[in-house]
């Protein structure tokens, strides 16, 4: 290989660097100084990005502190609207409009929980859509779309089911314990490489912080050098889905027997599918069965450890996507048992499209009307 020679011009001045010829030389220690400068620049850039992110997250974190107050306010407002419907529908409509406005603020407060804290794609999108959607429904209702009062009643019942169960420990703890026990029983058919730990009574080599009343799944793998702790939370009980269908069913006018039949079917399907979901997540996360594309997942979700990759893929992506599909399927089952619920579904479609649809014929559903006889 020919040596690179530097040639001076006839006028004695240094020639300009040419592509493919001699690269410029660094003085002694120049490489070290350049590397140090580059490292400082990268650190400064990352620090600025972190500062910028903190500046964005802080307002949402502050607003999230008022989530409980907003939630109880929504419950009171919508229940007040339901009661007022019996006496003054116009005044009740105004109250419902206020409830939808407060609900939009609650979705803003939920951004911190679902996007920044839990990093949930499905729930994050739902929250972002819920903000303008709530305002839009309130606007349509205020503009005279009285059919949306049925949807407003449904929201009131949803919060009546969900909020006390999620905030009252006497209801929440037994529900979580029951779901945990059933999940452990089904999981034992697939693997026995786990143990149940009450509270924070973990072995000395496990560093985990859980509430005193909880029961967690512990997967120990000393060969791989990691321990996985998986704890069933309220969101893992299916309570939110049950509340949704309880609200839809309670809001329409139909014979009580058919309402109870539809609700029983919905709750049973939700509970079974929810146990299957928990088992899938526990198995995939605890045994690291979904450790795929670790570098991409770590960067995308800003994880601090690669062992959480299995959890993100199993729960945040696969399970949550399938949950949406399951909700659509359960809605179809409920509609077949209680066609009156289509009134709310059709109103939901109208909110998005501003077009009227009759889904009874498309879904091959009987022509029962609100309050019709029980066949």
Please give the positions annotated as active site.
236, 277
DSSP H or E run through 334: helix 320-337
Inter-residue contact 74 to 130 (CB < 8 Å): no
Q: Chain centroid to CA 304: how far?
A: 20
Which residue, 374, 350, 334, is CA-closest to 250? 334
| Token reading at 181 | 């026990």
Distance CA 297, CA 145 (A): 44
DSSP string, 28-91: TTHHHHHHHHHHHHHHHHHHHHHHHHHHHHHHHHHHHTTHHHHHHHHHHHHHHHHHHTTT-HHH
Inter-residue contact 158 to 239 (CB < 8 Å): no
Q: How many CB atoms lie within 10 A of CB 239?
A: 21
């Amino acid at each position: 290989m020919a040596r690179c020679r530097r040639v001076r011009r006839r006028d004695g001045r240094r020639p300009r660097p040419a592509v493919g010829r001699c690269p410029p030389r660094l003085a002694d220690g120049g490489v070290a100084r350049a590397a140090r400068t580059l490292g400082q620049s990268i650190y400064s850039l990352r620090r600025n990005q972190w500062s910028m992110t903190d500046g964005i997250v802080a307002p949402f974190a502050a607003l999230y502190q008022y989530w409980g107050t907003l939630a109880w306010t929504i419950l009171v407002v919508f229940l007040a609207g339901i009661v007022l419907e019996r006496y003054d529908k116009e005044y009740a409509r105004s109250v419902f409009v206020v409830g939808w406005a407060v609900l939009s603020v609650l979705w803003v407060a939920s951004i911190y929980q679902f996007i920044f804290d839990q990093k949930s794609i499905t729930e994050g999108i739902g929250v972002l859509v819920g903000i303008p959607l709530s305002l839009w429904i309130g606007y349509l209702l205020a503009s005279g779309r009285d059919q949306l009062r049925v949807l407003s009643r449904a929201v009131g019942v949803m919060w009546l089911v969900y909020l006390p169960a999620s905030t009252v420990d006497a209801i929440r703890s037994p529900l979580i314990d029951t779901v945990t026990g059933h999940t452990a029983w089904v999981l034992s058919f697939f693997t026995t490489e786990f143990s149940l730990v009450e509270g924070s009574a973990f072995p000395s080599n496990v560093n985990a912080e859980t509430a005193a009343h909880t029961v967690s799944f512990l997967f120990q793998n000393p060969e791989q050098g990691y321990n996985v702790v998986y704890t069933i939370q309220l969101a893992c009980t299916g309570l939110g889905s049950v509340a949704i269908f309880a609200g839809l069913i309670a809001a329409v006018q139909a014979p009580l027997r058919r309402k109870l039949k539809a609700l029983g079917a919905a709750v049973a399907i939700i509970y079974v599918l929810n146990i299957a979901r928990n088992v899938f997540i526990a198995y995939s996360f605890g045994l690291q069965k979904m450790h795929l594309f670790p570098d991409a997942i770590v960067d995308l979700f800003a994880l601090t450890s690669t062992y959480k990759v299995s959890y993100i893929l199993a729960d945040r992506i696969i399970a949550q996507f399938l949950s949406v599909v399951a909700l659509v399927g359960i809605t179809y089952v409920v509609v077949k048992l209680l066609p009156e619920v289509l009134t709310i579904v059709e109103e939901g479609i109208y909110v998005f499209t501003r077009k009227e649809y009759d889904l009874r014929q498309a879904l091959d559903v009987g022509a029962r009307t609100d309050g019709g006889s029980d066949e």
